[in-house]
Structure 1
């Protein structure tokens, strides 16, 4: 059945009009479908970067996060199941009934959620510690992200050179462990123990998370 609405002499098909299914959107694409995806992700509190209609690394990381929240394989491909989830999205699974302003990090899902007034305001893909032994730049240890309940106690603006590498806008929550921006945030755990977020997300994270914010990290 075709639902038609006539406005000022123009025939407009309503939302139930049949037609070809939208094309699959994937990294490297550009155009109106990508722009629509970026706007939708931003409205749902993900961070696709600039809403410019180009599907680059920033948008891909946001799609990974969305897919993980919806228990899908994070491959960055926006196909029919992802489109359906975008129409009826779910909230990230809460790890704690903690303070209304907090950060929750799931190491199993490699996912970070910032809450303000008890509601998600930022959902991001992350990359945490590999769990493997390392010896680099005169330091040896096990690249393990600590679990538990912490608070942000220190921050550095801009780039910071630490013993094991550079970090962008680190937010320290336990000793030398921090949430920070990185140019390398793959789908797998890859850090020495810190929690990496995509570089473009680090600025937004720093604005949303003042010192004293609770940080809950779970396996």
Structure 2
């Protein structure tokens, strides 16, 4: 079965957000019926990290990840964050189809993806920037969401500073919908932190895939 039939990418209606170093393109790019099938296939196909790779280090202490996570990519790629080295497993068919879909939109062949499964509204992602040194900062990070709609919150780095250096810059919130694509274009991840806060009343499963382009070695 072709999970991702040909979609006319020229007909996608993009919403752009530009302010203070924030550069985002957002659209519900995958029709609901197709998104439903992809979510079912991801739920059936993907297996998530266990053991040490299912933990995160905060101020030198390890805690269980407040979500499930796995990574895929081209041979030999690893990704380091929060004191962990994440290996890229071989591309499964549904994730590879999504990578090819993004290539059709942007002409970018991403070589790594981090998949996060939020089992319910208790699972979350804390504030951070995707600006690790092995990422190529000239490429956008592409985020595809399936399942439960969740708010995605971005905060300017200068609005997080304590004391007199703190600037009054309002956060930006986007409700990431089922079948949506978000491009975080440069220099967004150098200047803005992002998070997926806890929402205990939202009970549905959400699977998010963030595709990245690594620096050439």
* TM-score over 0.5 (shorter chain): no
For the superposition of Structure 1 and Structure 2, which TM-score range results when normalised by the shorter chain?
Answer: under 0.3
**Higher normalized contact order (CA 8 Å, seq sep 6+, divided by chain length):** 2
Specify which structure has the higher proportion of strand.
2
- The TM-score, its normalising length taken from structure 1, stands at 0.26
Rg: which structure is higher? 1
